[in-house]
Copies of this chain bind each other. A is one copy, B any other.
Amino acid sequence: MHAGFYGREPRNVPELELVIVGAGAAGLSAAIYAALMEINFVVVDAEQGGGLMTLAKTIENMPGVSGKRGPELTQTLIEQLERNGARVRTFEPAQELRFARGDLAVQTSRNAYRPKCVIIATGLELLGLREEYGVEGEREWLGKGVSYCAECDAPLFRGKSVLVAGNPFDAFVLARVAAQVTYLGPVPEEFRSQVPREILEANDIDYIEGDLQRLEGGTVLEAAVIDGVRRPCDGVFISRRKAGTEIYADAGLKLSRDGFIETNRAMETNIEGVFAAGDITGEPWQISKSVGEGAVACLSAFRFLTGRRMRNLGWALQDEWEQAGI
């Protein structure tokens, strides 16, 4: 019935146990665990897998994996998955989720899955990548001076000159390593009470106000044009991120105030059998966090599946186990 759709088909487990939605760092990590543990699963991705990780020029801050380029690490993870007998179902976006108690349904562009549990790992949308939000030149020098993640890319700008627009905390992160940090104000409303302009200046961060009109450069970024004035810089940090969580709210998942899927430390959401991992669960945006959360989500799913099989055998499990999470 679903045969051929599964990541792998283990012995004695005919039913589809798990659907992993999204194959970025978190989804691939969960899938590798699922394959190793012989869970009967599929992993789908709206595109070709890898998510935002594929945009990383050099990954310096993933412990154990340093110096790789983003697409290279993506390939390593996909190969690790395939070596364990599973593969990503690419270009198969999830379109609708229905999470009734004990009856989960994932409708993608191609299939209607009815798994026993679900891991959501669809990551972030980068608004900067949408035409309507981008500054002229933003896409052109993305990864060559333009960055969306100060905590990820700060080390690449040691001793350099950077401009920060958006989240003022990015400026503090960069002030540790960069030779010169300029914050382009005004500070957005949501941060103004926390980080007024004076605080930035007290931390050796230059403060200017103006309109970022376009970026300029050659093979790498060289300058930003603000109100008609060309300001040389090596890096521009722009934070305009959001999670595309509308379909999850519609499915009944509890979201945090800033729009991410809420989980506990076992990566359980408010719906039984539904787990989440990676950037979609909130900051910080780190590959290592995503990989760790993918692993935990899959092990929690495994425990959920085990508990479910016990219940099917007629055992009323005690509250401790039900509530223990992992």
Contact = CB atoms under 8 A, between A and B. Distances in A.
Interface stretch (A117-125, A224-232, A282-290): A282-290
A256 to B, nearest CB: 10
Q: Which size bracket describes the interface of A in this complex?
A: 35 or more
Contacts of A289: 292, 295-296
A194 interface: yes
Interface string A269-312: 00000000000011110101111111110010011001001100
A173 interface: yes
Given A173-B302, A292-B288, A73 B80 contact: no
How many chain copies does the complex carry? Answer: 2
A61 B295 contact: yes
Interface in A1-53: 10, 12, 25, 28-29, 32-33, 36-39
Interface of A: 10, 12, 25, 28-29, 32-33, 36-39, 60-66, 73, 76-77, 80, 83-84, 151, 154-155, 169, 172-173, 176-177, 193-196, 199, 202-204, 263-265, 281-284, 286, 288-296, 299, 302-303, 306, 309-310, 313, 315, 317-318, 320-321, 326
Shortest 6 CB-CB contacts between residues of A and residues of B: A292-B292, A38-B176, A29-B63, A288-B295, A36-B155, A289-B292
